Amino acid sequence: MSSLPPYNPDRSERSLWLINAATSLAERRRLLESVGPSEIVEARDAIGLVERVRAAVGEVVVVAPEAALQALVLELVGGKAGMATLCFSAGALSQVQVLSDRAVVRHLNLGRAV
């Protein structure tokens, strides 16, 4: 599975920021401050999460359990369960760039070694 586009997309496209729900509240606040103004979506599972993200207009931060984040990213990049192993570490921020026709994974666990 490749989430790489055939061109280098402009950074002005919309970003989706992902935070593992296991992240402490203090750490969440720090991560949310680092991304600036964004719509915050909290979810307990992946049900309806893709639709909520696609319906959002601007930047979106999703706080959800790791399994829900994995399902969301695979759906957005056009993958299927089992095609890739994605790790979303607690206390780290991951970025997906949402383009008009697909999504591109920019950073997994930004700022933390996996």
For 22, phi and psi rounded to 5 degrees?
-75, -5
Distance CA(54)–CA(57), nearest Å, equals: 8
Q: State the Cα–Cα distance between residues 70 and 77, nearest whole angstrom.
A: 11
* Model pLDDT for residues 71-92, shown as the tens digit of each residue: 999 988 887 777 777 889 999 9
What three-state secondary structure class fits 39?
Answer: strand
Per-residue confidence at 111, pLDDT binned at 50, 70, 90?
Answer: low
Q: Give me the pLDDT at residue 114, please.
A: 40
pTM tops 0.85: no
Domain residue extents for the chain: 22-110
Rounded Cα gap, residues 43 and 39, in angstroms: 13
Q: What is the dihedral of CA 52, 55, 57, 60, to 10 degrees?
A: 20
